Amino acid sequence: MSLQLSLLPPVAPPTDFIEDLRRFSLDGAETVEVEEGGLRYFVNAFWTAGQRRGHSIHEISYRACFKSELPGFFIERLTSPGDRVFDPFSGRGTTAVQAALMGRAPAANDVNPLSAMLCAPRLDPPAVAAVAARLAEIDLSVGVDDPNEADLLAFYHPDTLRQITALRSWLLGRGDALDSVDAWIRMVAINRLTGHSPGFFSVYTMPPNQAVSALSQRKINEKRAQTPVARNVPAIILKKTRSLLSDGFPAAHPPAILLTGAADRTPALADASVDLIVTSPPFLDVVDYEGDNWLRCWFAGIDPACVRIDKHSNIVSWEAFVRRAFGEFARIVRPGGFVAFEVGEVRGGKVLLERHVAAAIEGLPFDILGVMVNQQVFTKTANCWGVNNNKGGTNSNRIVMAVRR
């Protein structure tokens, strides 16, 4: 299908934004603008490739999350303080947290309740002293028997597991009495469950954005000739708390709206109430969110089998999924509001999801302004839709830019 672009005439922010992309230069590189398949591409390094350049409060791990510079780029250029910024596929909450840091009104949704647990505490964090005082109040000396203990001992020393199960039991037992300090401790503990350094509760394992199975962990232990060592759970939580807050607290911002459910049904958001959406949906079935998060869900008391994360093995069902989401976006985004829809690079660039987004939203009240391709190194302009950085995998951010008519 040949798609026709229509740049909006008089809507100031989007048209100014496109001109900004054309003029943009980071470290002297100019934006390359090309057309292919009915879409206009803007190719450049729009933000740094350096690690940990964002605010420290973003530094929690989650599978397939984008860097805070991505939503920050759009929030800075397309919104004003107090505007509503929404991510319907929130993950760890990067867009919402960045919106709060910039004084905007955060809104986030995800089908996994784990998302709100990771996001909400970082929007309005407690003081370090309050976290330390609460940890001192919790008796971690008596663990709780758990049917998963045999599997969990593949990751944890028995003394560490005792502390973890005691903390988990205490948090789950708080129920409606769970306050902002408890929620912060739970968020940090979820993030420290497994990793590959002494800053985590576990023995050496996979990177902290995914948890391997107990069987796989036993194989790792055997291969590395390692056994779990004892960790001090409260000390690790407090150290990570100080690290997350080392750059300070979010600015004053309007109250957040945090939802758990499908992206095509967000009734808590009023019609035309959203100024900007920055999001990255589930791609084709390349990430096992349920498998990656089984240990986090266990700690949080979530049954991962009940979390119906969208998985699409074919492009037809994925397009239908995108269209349903944009149907809801048409209701909640104000006229002139903007959608930045990051689709990454999948299957080695052989499947260009941005074109399927364009096909999916045909007939809906959105105009596609183009596709922004953020990559630090690219070879030929003509290859901007199939770039290879010699390492494979996802090597660029590819963002469909649409504006609500």
Token pair recorded at residue 95: 């867009």
pLDDT beyond 70 at 393: no
The whole-number pLDDT of residue 285 equals: 61
- How many residues are listed for the chain in this entry? 405
Give the Cα separation of 345 and 349 in Å (integer): 6
Give the Cα separation of 178 and 170 in Å (integer): 10
pLDDT beyond 80 at 251: yes
Give the Cα separation of 190 and 118 in Å (integer): 8
Confidence of residue 394 (pLDDT cuts 50, 70, 90): very low
pLDDT tens figures, 124-170: 999 999 999 999 999 999 889 888 889 999 999 999 999 999 999 99
Whether the CB-CB separation of 240 and 188 falls below 8 Å is answered with yes
Q: Which of 90-94, 118-122, 154-158, 307-311 has the lowest mean pLDDT?
A: 307-311
- Bridge-based pairing state of the strands 333-342 and 397-404: antiparallel
Confidence of residue 99 (pLDDT cuts 50, 70, 90): very high
Helix ranges (H only) for 52-93 are 69-78
Helix (H, G, I), strand (E, B) or coil at 380: coil
Give the Cα separation of 279 and 276 in Å (integer): 10
CB atoms within 10 A of CB 73: 22
User: Which residue, chain included where needed, has tokens 């987004």?
Assistant: 357
| R_g of the chain computed on alpha carbons | 22
CATH code assigned to 12-113+256-290+309-404: 3.40.50.150
Whether the CB-CB separation of 108 and 86 falls below 8 Å is answered with yes
pLDDT tens figures, 325-379: 999 999 999 999 999 999 977 666 678 899 999 999 999 999 999 999 987 554 3
The whole-number pLDDT of residue 52 equals: 54
**113: amino acid identity, one letter:** P
Token pair recorded at residue 320: 């239908």
Query: Which residues does 205 contact at the CB level (< 8 Å), separation at least 6?
Result: 155, 194, 195, 196, 211, 212, 217, 220
Whether the CB-CB separation of 102 and 251 falls below 8 Å is answered with yes
pLDDT tens figures, 4-40: 333 333 334 566 899 999 999 877 788 999 999 899 9
Give the Cα separation of 97 and 316 in Å (integer): 33
Give the Cα separation of 369 and 401 in Å (integer): 5
The whole-number pLDDT of residue 379 equals: 39
Nearest to 216 by CA among 282, 288, 272: 288
The whole-number pLDDT of residue 390 equals: 36
Q: Torsions phi, psi of 7, nearest 5?
A: -75, 130
pLDDT tens figures, 261-320: 999 999 999 999 999 999 999 877 656 666 778 899 999 999 877 777 767 778 999 999
CA angle 373, 375, 376 (to 5 degrees): 155
Helix (H, G, I), strand (E, B) or coil at 311: coil
The whole-number pLDDT of residue 15 equals: 65
C-alpha 293 chain-centroid distance = 14
Q: Torsions phi, psi of 110, nearest 5?
A: -155, 150
Q: Cα(first)–Cα(last) distance of the chain, in Å?
A: 22
Confidence of residue 387 (pLDDT cuts 50, 70, 90): very low
pLDDT beyond 80 at 71: yes
Query: Which residues does 305 contact at the CB level (< 8 Å), separation at least 6?
Result: 290
User: How do the domains of the chain map onto residue ranges?
Assistant: 12-113+256-290+309-404, 128-244
Q: Torsions phi, psi of 373, nearest 5?
A: -110, 110
Token pair recorded at residue 11: 């809507």
**188: amino acid identity, one letter:** V
